Structure 1
Amino acid sequence: MNQQNRILFAGDPHGNFKPLIAAAHKYRPEAIILLGDYDLDVPLESCLKEIDGVTEIWWIAGNHDFESPAKYNNLFNSAFSHRDLHLKVTEIAGLRVAGLSGVFLGRVWYPPQQPKWLGKQHYLHNQSASVQSSEMALKYKSAIWHDEFEALKALKADILVSHEAPGSHRHGFKVIGELAAAMGVKHIFHGHLHENYASIIRNNIKVSGVANGAVTDLFGNMLSEK
């Protein structure tokens, strides 16, 4: 197997899993990492049953995955729930991969503005008793929280996969690059913005934007278009 194909990165499927399934069959990677926004009408394993066993399937969540209880449950309660990379570092195919799900929300934290809430507990402590006793709304679950983001900086990784983009994109966020630098990351792969591009940011960190339905290799080379 070509070493640069041992991990593949799949851009937002939005219900169309055919490109990443085809890439998995063609290149036989050790793992494929999905970058969010699945729009699941059925559990994730039902969409990927053709490649379950062909390759390891890992994922982060995007904003669309919190749009409804059904979409949320079909991901977070799927047979691949244990392959969630959010807020941790996991060794995959010999590389340390860190994951950051979700998006920046103005009602929580929208850099470079200061966070409105330092974390989930800070937010809940300032809500009514009825809100405190109920499950957090999906919109808030989709948010990137400042305290969790800061805690991730203490870990070390080779690759960062995120739904949001770093400052390399006009709609990206400089703090994503700062997170990657603090972690010693060499390459960022992100989805969300439906655009294939390559860039280099501060600390010589490579960035690969992966468009919806596209698949890239470890070097950021495009292997499959939607």
Structure 2
Amino acid sequence: MNPHNRILFAGDPHGNFRPLIAAVHEYKPEAVVLLGDYDLDTPLENCLREIVDITQIWWIPGNHDFETPTKYKNLFHSALADKSLHLKVIEIAGVRIVGLGGIFLGRVWYPPMQPKWKDKAHYLGMQKLNAKNVDMSLKYKSAIWHDEFQALKALKADILVSHEAPGSHRHGFHVIGDLAVAMNVKTIFHGHLHENYSTMIKRNIHVHGVANTAVANLVGNTLKNGNEVGVG
């Protein structure tokens, strides 16, 4: 097996998992990492039943995964719920991977602006001044919270997988690159923006955007019908 294919990264499926399933059967990776936006109408393990027993499956959430209670439940309460990489560093196939799911939300934190809330407890505490038994809405759960983001900087990883893009993309955020530098990350993979591309940012960090339904390997090449297609 090509060592570059031992971990595969899957762009936003939006309900179409066939390209990922085909890639797993063809390339037989040790693990796959899904980059968010699943649009699940059934639990995640049902969508991936053909590969769930033959490779490790890891994931981060995207903004679509918080759109409805059904989509949320089919991911966060699925049989693969414990495979979330969000805000964690996990060694996968010999590589330390950290996950950052969700999106930047103006009502919570939208860099480079200052965060609206110190943390979730601060937000919930303010809501309780006007209502009892306040819970956090799915919209707020989809947000990247400043305090959780900052806490990641104390950790170390080799690869950062995020739903949002770093500043390498015209719709990205430079703070994600800052996070990668702080964590000594060498490579970033992201979804969300539906583009295949590869570039480099500060400190020689490689960035690979993975388009919707696309599958990329450890060096960022898109895998298609037995071939690696460079996307530089």
Please tell me whether residue 43 in structure 1 is matched to residue 43 in structure 2: yes
CA separation in 2, counterparts of 1:64 and 1:85? 17
Please tell me whether residue 24 in structure 1 is matched to residue 27 in structure 2: no
User: What's the offset of the Cα at 1:54?
Assistant: 1.2
User: What's the offset of the Cα at 1:131?
Assistant: 5.2
User: What's the offset of the Cα at 1:113?
Assistant: 0.5
User: What letter is aligned with 1:192?
Assistant: H
CA separation in 1, counterparts of 2:21 and 2:141? 29
Alignment partner of 2:150: what SS?
Answer: helix
1:74-85 matches, within 5 Å, as: 74-85=74-85
Task: State the number of aligned residues.
Answer: 225
The match for 1:162 is 162
Asked if the contact 2:104–2:144 (Cα under 8 Å) also holds between the matched residues in 1, the reply is yes
Alignment partner of 1:164: what SS?
Answer: coil
Asked if the contact 1:216–1:224 (Cα under 8 Å) also holds between the matched residues in 2, the reply is no
CA separation in 2, counterparts of 1:124 and 1:170? 33
Which shows bigger deviation, 119-128 or 190-199? 119-128
> Unmatched 5+ residue regions in structure 2?
226-232
CA separation in 2, counterparts of 1:18 and 1:201? 32
User: What letter is aligned with 2:221?
Assistant: N
> Unmatched 5+ residue regions in structure 1?
none
Using the aligned pairs only, state the percent identity: 71
CA separation in 2, counterparts of 1:212 and 1:71? 18
User: What letter is aligned with 1:75?
Assistant: L
Asked if the contact 1:161–1:188 (Cα under 8 Å) also holds between the matched residues in 2, the reply is yes
CA separation in 2, counterparts of 1:184 and 1:46? 36
The match for 1:218 is 218
Cα RMSD between the aligned structures?
1.1
Alignment partner of 1:8: what SS?
Answer: strand
User: What's the offset of the Cα at 1:132?
Assistant: 6.1
Q: Deviations over 1:89-145 (max 9, x none)?
A: 000000000000100000000000011112101111211356562321000000000
User: What letter is aligned with 1:28?
Assistant: K
The match for 1:2 is 2
User: What's the offset of the Cα at 1:224?
Assistant: 3.5
Alignment partner of 2:87: what SS?
Answer: coil
Please tell me whether residue 69 in structure 1 is matched to residue 58 in structure 2: no
Please tell me whether residue 198 in structure 1 is matched to residue 232 in structure 2: no
Asked if the contact 2:128–2:134 (Cα under 8 Å) also holds between the matched residues in 1, the reply is no
User: What's the offset of the Cα at 1:213?
Assistant: 0.4
Q: Deviations over 1:128-180 (max 9, x none)?
A: 35656232100000000000000011000000000000000000000000000
1:169-188 matches, within 5 Å, as: 169-188=169-188
